[in-house]
Amino acid sequence: MYFRDYGRYDYIEMKLARKPKAKLKEHFYIRGDLTRVYFFGLEETNELGVKAGFKVLEVKNLYTEITNRLTEESMNRVWIQAKFIK
């Protein structure tokens, strides 16, 4: 099974963390459109895979920097990617 989602300390998490009403729990936020978003950590993702009965092949963060051409704002994006086998 392949898993890929937002990683801890992604640009979006840091942006949401500045909004006091957006935080529901640690690393769990509500967006302006009322959808929820969770930011996964490496150890946590590893544990989730093991608890679900998978053998963990790989768990890692992927980093990239994106620049908004209009505002020239730099955004540090973080994703978590994992590979599991049953």
* Domain coordinates in residue numbering, the chain: 2-85
**Is-contact 17 24, C-beta < 8 A?**
no
pLDDT, tens only, 21-78: 999 999 999 999 999 999 999 999 999 999 999 999 999 999 999 999 999 999 999 9
- Residue 20 — pLDDT band, cuts 50, 70, 90? confident
Stated pTM of the model: 0.88
| Interstrand relation of 55-67 and 36-38 (parallel, antiparallel or unpaired) | unpaired
